[in-house]
Amino acid sequence: MAHPKRKHSHSRSRKKRTHQKLVSPLLVECKQCRHLKPAHMICPFCGYYAGREVIKIERKEKKKKKR
């Protein structure tokens, strides 16, 4: 097996790692409800995609607290 003749410097080793970073997902505003959603996906809040309703979303009503 091959062995390196010289030690790589810290900066040279770290240059390889510059592309190993986390990238936040691209979020766009829904034209229907103005919530942020992933690009090219159906809006999970209103069910619209490209200006038309694809799925119907039923919202759950909040339970009232009894005292």
pLDDT tens readout for residues 32-50? 999 999 999 999 999 999 9
The pLDDT value recorded for residue 62 is 73
Total domains in the chain come to 1
Q: What is the pTM of this model?
A: 0.55
With vertex at residue 61, the alpha carbon angle to CA 57 and CA 62, rounded to the nearest 5 degrees, is: 135
Domain assignment of residue 43, yes or no: yes
Contacts (Cβ under 8 Å, ≥6 apart) of 25: 38
Domain assignment present for residue 55? The answer is yes
Note down the domain range covering 30. Answer: 24-59
Q: Look at residue 65 in the predicted model and tell me its pLDDT.
A: 75
> For residue 1, what pLDDT band results from cuts at 50, 70 and 90?
confident
